Amino acid sequence: AAGGSAWNAGGTYEERDVSAWGHEELKSRLSGLSAPVAGGRGELKVKEVKNVEGHISVISSRGKVKRPFEVKFDLCWECHDKSWSEGEGDPANACDGTLAFSDVSPAPTGVATDGAACIYEIAPSYGTAPAADNLEAVQDALITLRDAVDTALAGFVDALAQK
């Protein structure tokens, strides 16, 4: 049997659902990500990974293995002024929000993705918007956080390749 199970002795097609594993793996890789805010004004941190949903599979078809997935998740983040721990911080420097990632899937081969392992749609929103003088620094930190997410997703794809 060329890689097939007892019911699929010809090895023509077999699919395993690894969604439960994948959801926990994503939560683990995305929890605790952070990005510094320019000027030493604080750190933007993922405080919660919510609404992880979607299908993750390992498919063996005619001797070839594919690992398709399409997931979504929300990264709830917060940003605090570093000096708060000394009791001198400005509460106006606090902000929070959500980055909603949807249609997260493996990057197709032959398509320019700047080396990213995954493609996705992203919708940012603020719960508490940053103060006007911190807006640009927080937006830059969100871009850095997105880079960290890309790195975490690449690690996820590598882990899935071992399934």
What lies within 8 Å, CB to CB, of 138 at 6+ separation is 37, 44, 79, 95, 130
At 134 the pLDDT is 80
Asked if residues 73 and 104 have their Cβ atoms less than 8 Å apart, the reply is yes
Digit-coded pLDDT (tens) for 68-120? 999 999 999 998 766 444 444 455 568 999 999 999 999 987 666 677 899 99
Pairing of strands 34-37, 64-66: unpaired
How crowded is residue 15: how many other Cβ atoms within 10 Å of its Cβ? 12
The pTM (predicted TM-score) of the whole model is 0.84
Give, as one character, the DSSP assignment of residue 129.
P
Asked if residues 61 and 12 have their Cβ atoms less than 8 Å apart, the reply is yes
